[in-house]
Amino acid sequence: MIQKQGYVPTEREQAFLGGIEDPKYVREIINGLAPFFDERAPADMLNFYSPDEIVQLRVLKGSERDVESRMPVKITRHYYELARHSAAIQRIVKASPDETRDLAGSEDPGFQMDYSPVEGLLHKYEMGLMYVVSTCSAHCRFCYREELIARKEIKRQDGTVAKKGLAQIPEITAYIRAHNEAVARNGGVHPESGREKLREILLSGGDPMVLNNAKLGAWLAALAESDVESIRIGTKEMAFYPQRFDAPFLAMLDRFHETYPQVGLHMMVHFEHPDEFLAKDPDGHYIEDAQGFKQWVPATGKAMRDLVSRGWLTVENQAPIIKGINDDPDALRILQREIKRAGAENHYFFCGRDIVAYRAFNVPIETAWNVLNESQKGLSGVETHARLSITHYKGKTEVNAVTSRPIPGLAGSENGVVIFKILRNAGRASDRGKVCIVGRNPEALWFDGYDDRVLFDEAGLYDYTRVRKPGLAPVSTGGCAAAGIPA
């Protein structure tokens, strides 16, 4: 049991926090559809929605199919300027009446709350994920965290219903210390959950970069003082408002590194499509210099350069493959090539999750694999580090291969197979490397699309277990509603 207690920063922390500067940012955010309905948005932005779209979206307002109740609408001026010349970007942030046509999906994708021992923390692996804020500078329609950002009430395993809460420094640091002390006392493994030291934390939300530097710095220092070895900041701010990566922010990072040089720092950026960072000419073509190098949007290029030039942190891109946005091998090829050329890393691409209304956004699993595979043809080895991941309830799982020929002697493989491979699972990742082979179903959007064609399952994806209470080891619930899409 973690005792609730106040948090007292150490002298080292206070010295670090004392030097942080907090400028005001003018993101020129348009919040919601009302400014478009009432024509209060800036005049040059009003045509972002056509009159027909406005009528259709207005009709849905207040109904079960209200698009804003599912996922709040938000856009920055910077992103709007990019969206004007990009159908892909428009699809990322423009609300569409189609997105609430089919509201099937999970209110808690992957039963994340099963792994929440403290409000605002998901602790599944040696890494913990924290919700530190519940909004972003703009909002993606396909967001995996629509339940957090729309502040929806979630039913938890114990039957209680509540909004997902945000992490607080006193509770989180007390939990990390208690967990890691128990692990150390027990020879490197937690006596109840079987997990190792909680040594890595991902600051997430929402987007931590909407917090001011003082708040971000407070999180970084408090985690460093709790002996966290590595901190990730998950952000799409470099796409929405790259000016946020300014001198005071970089100075805060530099001071953090000087104060806590032993702590690794990783910026997990989120670019879906090269239109989010490449400059275009008036005809919509990417601008190239005399040698044929594509030119970045100046503010975005500067933000990226300023981060990657700090050799003690890494910048990693990860993004889902979403219908009508980046299910396009050519776009993904340019994206991976440019990210690597800029000095950042291509980390993961994801299959869309089973969020509410997922059918409006997700491409079939096999299509996503094909798109990524095609996009990597012609790329070099260092440009093709990204794998296609799909988040099973058990943990991160790679869509490793899709074949198109039968496997001789294997009934059910007549149209080829899909091979899933577990990358991470709760506790000590005991199932890492195990595979599950299913017969193909080109329509499958989620694991349940293969329920009737499992051929081999040493990974246990189709005999999953659900944890009894947050922080404890999984127990078998039997059944096979993989990753829990409600009927």
Q: Which residues bind ligand SF4 (CB under 6 A)?
A: 136, 139-140, 143, 145, 149, 206-207, 236, 270
**How is residue 258 annotated by DSSP?**
H
Which residue, 25 or 175, has its beta carbon nearer to ligand SF4?
25
Report in angstroms how near the CB of residue 222 gets to ligand SF4 at its nearest.
Answer: 22
Report in angstroms how near the CB of residue 372 gets to ligand SF4 at its nearest.
Answer: 19
Report in angstroms how near the CB of residue 270 gets to ligand SF4 at its nearest.
Answer: 6
Which residue, 268 or 417, has its beta carbon nearer to ligand SF4?
268
**Given CA atoms 205, 209, 215, 221 in this order, what sign does their dihedral have?**
positive
Residue of 256, 269, 144, 136 whose CA lies nearest to 207 = 136
Q: How far is CA 226 from CA 125, 176, 238, 256, in A?
A: 17, 7, 28, 14
Which residue, 25 or 464, has its beta carbon nearer to ligand SF4?
25
Residue in the structure block whose two tokens are 């009927």: 487
Cβ contacts of residue 311 below 8 Å, gap of 6+? Answer: none
What is the residue type of 389? S
Q: How many CA atoms lie within 13 A of 284 on its CB side?
A: 7
Which residue, 209 or 263, has its beta carbon nearer to ligand SF4?
209
Which residue, 76 or 370, has its beta carbon nearer to ligand SF4?
76
Report in angstroms how near the CB of residue 136 gets to ligand SF4 at its nearest.
Answer: 3
If one counts every other C-beta atom within 10 angstroms of the C-beta of residue 190, the result is: 22
Using Cβ positions, the residue closest to ligand SF4 within the complex turns out to be 143
Structure tokens at 379: 């790329």
Which residue, 83 or 221, has its beta carbon nearer to ligand SF4?
83
Give the angle 278-283-287 at the CA atoms, nearest 5°. 35
Which residue, 132 or 437, has its beta carbon nearer to ligand SF4?
132
Which residue, 168 or 318, has its beta carbon nearer to ligand SF4?
318
d(CA 280, CA 183): 53
Helix (H, G, I), strand (E, B) or coil at 394: coil
Is 72 in contact with 32 (CB distance < 8 Å)? yes
Which residue, 30 or 140, has its beta carbon nearer to ligand SF4?
140
Structure tokens at 426: 């709760």
Report in angstroms how near the CB of residue 320 gets to ligand SF4 at its nearest.
Answer: 8
Tell me the β-bridge partners of 321: 351
d(CA 40, CA 36): 6
Report in angstroms how near the CB of residue 4 gets to ligand SF4 at its nearest.
Answer: 28
Q: How many helices (H) and strands (E) does the chain have?
A: 14, 18
Which residue, 90 or 193, has its beta carbon nearer to ligand SF4?
90
d(CA 360, CA 364): 11
Is 327 in contact with 68 (CB distance < 8 Å)? no
If one counts every other C-beta atom within 10 angstroms of the C-beta of residue 286, the result is: 15
The three-state DSSP-derived secondary structure of 410-431 is: CCCCCCCEEEEEECCCCCCCCC
Report in angstroms how near the CB of residue 426 gets to ligand SF4 at its nearest.
Answer: 23
d(CA 97, CA 75): 18
Report in angstroms how near the CB of residue 430 gets to ligand SF4 at its nearest.
Answer: 30
Which residue, 276 or 345, has its beta carbon nearer to ligand SF4?
276
Report in angstroms how near the CB of residue 3 gets to ligand SF4 at its nearest.
Answer: 32
Report in angstroms how near the CB of residue 72 gets to ligand SF4 at its nearest.
Answer: 9
Q: How many CA atoms lie within 13 A of 425 on its CB side?
A: 23
Report in angstroms how near the CB of residue 276 gets to ligand SF4 at its nearest.
Answer: 11
